[in-house]
Amino acid sequence: MSQFFALIPAAGSGSRMGHQLPKQYLPLVEKPMIYHALHTLVNCSKITRVFVILAPDDDVWVRYDWTTFKDKLVVEYCGGDARAESVLNGLNAMYSSGKVDGDDWVLVHDAARPCLSAPQLDQLINELSYDGVGGLLAIPVSDTLKRADSDHRIASTEPRAHLWQAQTPQMFRFNLLKDALSKVDSRQITDDASAIEALGLKPRLVLSDAYNFKVTYPQDLALAELILQKREIK
C-alpha cells in the first residue's frame, strides 16, 4: 500500500512582498504564514509525514514553537536557488531518510498558500490515489486574458477556453517526480506538473476554488486573514 507524504518548499525570499522577513514567516492570524498549510497537512490522517524544505541559512524557523506538530513534521535545510531545485533537494533528503518508497505519493505544497482546506486536500487525494500519472488542484480561468506588448498595450486577447490556473498541492509518485525534476532546467519551471509534462505525461486537473490562492503581494495578506478567520469562527 502506497503512503502519502507532503513536501513544502519554503526556501524562497518572497521579494514581491517587499518585506525583510521571508514571505512564509509573515504574520497571519497570529502565526507565521507557513503554520496554516502545515496545520492542514499534518492533520490529514492519510499523510504519514510532512517535510519542510528551508534555505540552508534560514535562521527564522527556530524562532517559533512547532512542537504541536510533533514528529509528523520533518525539517530539512537544503533549499536551492529555484523552487524546483528546493523540491528536488527535498526529495533527495526524503530518500536519505529511508522512510519513503519509490511508489509512495508526494504532495508538494507552496508555503505561500495558507488557505488550503481539509476538504480540498481530501478531494485531491481521493481523485488521484488510483491515477496513473498524478495531478494537482487547479481552477478554470474566469477573467478575459490579454497579452501585453512592452508598452503595456494589448497585443492580443487570448481565448480562455480550456485554460486553468495551477495551484498546489501537486501530487505525484516519488520516483516519477524525482526523475522528472532531475531532467528539467529548474529556473525555467514554476511548478512540479511542468516537469511531469516534459516527460510527455498528462497530469490531471482536480477542481479547486479561489480560496487556495497564492499570497504574492502585500494586499493578499488581508484576504488570506479574512478567509482563515471565517473558517475558525464556523
Q: Are 102 and 110 in contact (CB under 8 A)?
A: no
In the complex, the smallest distance separating the C-beta of residue 16 from ligand C5P, rounded to whole angstroms, is 7
Residue of 96, 16, 30, 115 whose CA lies nearest to 65: 30
In the complex, the smallest distance separating the C-beta of residue 134 from ligand C5P, rounded to whole angstroms, is 19
16/202 with CB nearer ligand C5P: 16
109/173 with CB nearer ligand C5P: 109
131/197 with CB nearer ligand C5P: 197
52/196 with CB nearer ligand C5P: 52
The site for ligand C5P (CB under 6 A) is made up of: 9-12, 24, 53, 79-83, 86, 110-112, 214, 216
Q: Which H or E run contains 231? A: helix 218-233
- All three cell numbers of 118, joined, read 481539509
Residue with cell 527556530: 62
In the complex, the smallest distance separating the C-beta of residue 180 from ligand C5P, rounded to whole angstroms, is 17
In the complex, the smallest distance separating the C-beta of residue 146 from ligand C5P, rounded to whole angstroms, is 22
Q: What b-and-e string marks burial along 112-138, b requiring 16 or more CB atoms within 10 Å of the CB?
A: bbbbbbeebbeebbebbeeeebbbbbb
